[in-house]
């Protein structure tokens, strides 16, 4: 079981992601935006972060940059995006060691990707 922080300003998306991850045996923490996620990450250890790109107060990209600068170069991070400029977002995230997962997405495929990242991280 991993502790996963899910960050999204869309309450429905937050519920869906949390439900799928909990069904797969993970402990889920929720944040409604990047700033709220920073507060949680400052107080709690997590094994992985799943974040939307577009959020108020602090975007998913800004959250990734903050995590890399302030917390950890190794924390697995998955960023969800429906933006049309996904190739530039993917390149930016790759430079920070984070993964892009495009929207719309299959929750089961996202869970497979998360499981893969967790196993690589725990083995490394």
Per DSSP, the three-state class of 1 is coil
Adjacent-strand bridge partners of 122: none
User: pTM for the full model?
Assistant: 0.91
pLDDT tens by residue, 49-106: 999 999 988 999 999 999 999 999 999 999 998 755 666 776 777 887 888 888 787 8
Domain ranges within the chain, ordered by starting residue: 3-123
Domain 3-123 top-level CATH class: alpha beta
Q: What is the pLDDT of residues 13-53, one digit of tens each?
A: 999 999 999 999 999 999 999 999 999 999 999 999 999 99
Q: Are 30 and 14 in contact (CB under 8 A)?
A: yes
> Residue 6 is inside which H or E element, if any?
strand 3-7
Alpha helices in 10-124 (DSSP H): 11-23, 34-43, 60-66, 86-95, 107-123
């Amino acid at each position: 079981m991993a502790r996963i922080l899910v960050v999204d300003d869309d309450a429905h998306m937050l519920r869906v992601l949390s439900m799928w991850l909990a069904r797969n045996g993970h402990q889920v923490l929720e944040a409604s935006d990047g700033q709220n996620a920073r507060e949680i990450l400052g107080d709690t250890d997590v094994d992985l972060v799943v974040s939307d790109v577009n959020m108020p107060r602090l975007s998913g990209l800004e959250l990734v940059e903050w995590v890399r600068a302030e917390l950890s170069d190794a924390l697995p991070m998955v960023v969800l995006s429906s933006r049309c400029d996904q190739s530039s977002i993917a390149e930016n995230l790759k430079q920070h060691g984070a993964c892009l997962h495009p929207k719309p997405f299959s929750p089961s495929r996202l869970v497979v990707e998360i499981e893969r990242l967790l196993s690589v991280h725990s083995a490394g």
